[in-house]
């Protein structure tokens, strides 16, 4: 039997994760079974369980992979010349999340499970720490180039920008009439006053 390449293995894991995310978005995390994910993916149970041991493991890894694309965007923004403004970095992150996840209601479902699911709570803690680190690193460099702004405030302000991203995700999921562009324009104005 030919050996499966790591690249093929990762592609299959992403395929399964995307099927799971579609199921979670359609039916909710609690109502989705592994049988639903198997049916959605079109793969055998053995193929699914060969990559993921449980629904919880699948959601952990799927969410981590989805968020990784947003992390890459923020990390790459830090190395641009000129350095993009904070509002643009928020925009990069929410657009990356939209491309990867599609339905922000899925993130709200997962966030809702965090207080009652220790595995998801640990994941949220890891992801939150990583996001804070990326924003703090970016803001430290941004503030260093802005007269009158102390780079030491970057860590505090990183939490503010993370809250802005969470607000965008929440309002997009909850309100049909939420004006995403007006929200992001307001972020640009607030960030400009801060700099």
Measured between alpha carbons, how far is 25 from 29 in angstroms, rounded to an integer? Answer: 8
Percentage of the chain beyond pLDDT 70 is 94
Average pLDDT, the chain: 85
- The model's pLDDT over 57-112, given as tens digits with 9 standing for 90+, comes to 887 777 776 666 667 777 888 888 888 988 898 998 888 888 877 788 888 888 88
| 174 pLDDT tier (thresholds 50, 70, 90) | very high
Residue 54 pLDDT > 90? no
Q: Calculate mean pLDDT across residues 141-151.
A: 80
Do the beta carbons of residue 41 and residue 15 sit within 8 Å? Answer: yes
**In sequence order, which residues have a C-beta less than 8 Å from that of residue 91 and are 6 or more positions away?**
184, 187
Residue 136 pLDDT > 60? yes
∠ CA 93-95-186, nearest 5°, is: 75
CATH fold of 55-194: Tetracycline Repressor; domain 2 (1.10.357)
**Up-side HSE of residue 31: CA atoms within 13 Å toward CB?**
9
* pLDDT at 171 (0 to 100): 96
Residue 155 pLDDT > 70? yes
Q: Calculate mean pLDDT across residues 108-133.
A: 85
* pLDDT at 26 (0 to 100): 86
* pLDDT at 69 (0 to 100): 62
| 2 pLDDT tier (thresholds 50, 70, 90) | low
- Classified as helix, coil or strand, 114 is helix
């Amino acid at each position: 039997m030919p050996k499966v390449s790591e690249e093929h293995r990762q592609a299959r894991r992403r395929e399964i994760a995307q099927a799971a995310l579609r199921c979670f978005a359609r039916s909710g995390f609690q109502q989705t079974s592994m049988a639903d994910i198997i049916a959605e993916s079109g793969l055998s149970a053995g193929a699914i369980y060969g990559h993921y041991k449980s629904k919880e493991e699948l959601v952990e890894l799927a969410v981590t992979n989805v968020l990784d694309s947003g992390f890459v965007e923020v990390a790459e923004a830090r190395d641009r010349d000129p350095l993009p403004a904070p509002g643009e970095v928020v925009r990069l992150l929410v657009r990356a999340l939209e491309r990867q996840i599609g339905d922000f209601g899925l993130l709200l479902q997962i966030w809702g499970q965090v207080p009652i699911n220790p595995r998801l709570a640990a994941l949220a803690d890891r992801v939150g720490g990583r996001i804070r680190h990326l924003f703090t690193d970016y803001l430290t460099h941004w503030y260093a180039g802005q007269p009158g702004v102390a780079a030491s405030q970057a860590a505090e302000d990183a939490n503010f920008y993370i809250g802005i991203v969470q607000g965008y995700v929440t309002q997009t999921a909850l309100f049909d009439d939420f004006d995403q562009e007006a929200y992001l324009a307001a972020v640009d104005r607030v960030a400009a006053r801060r700099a």
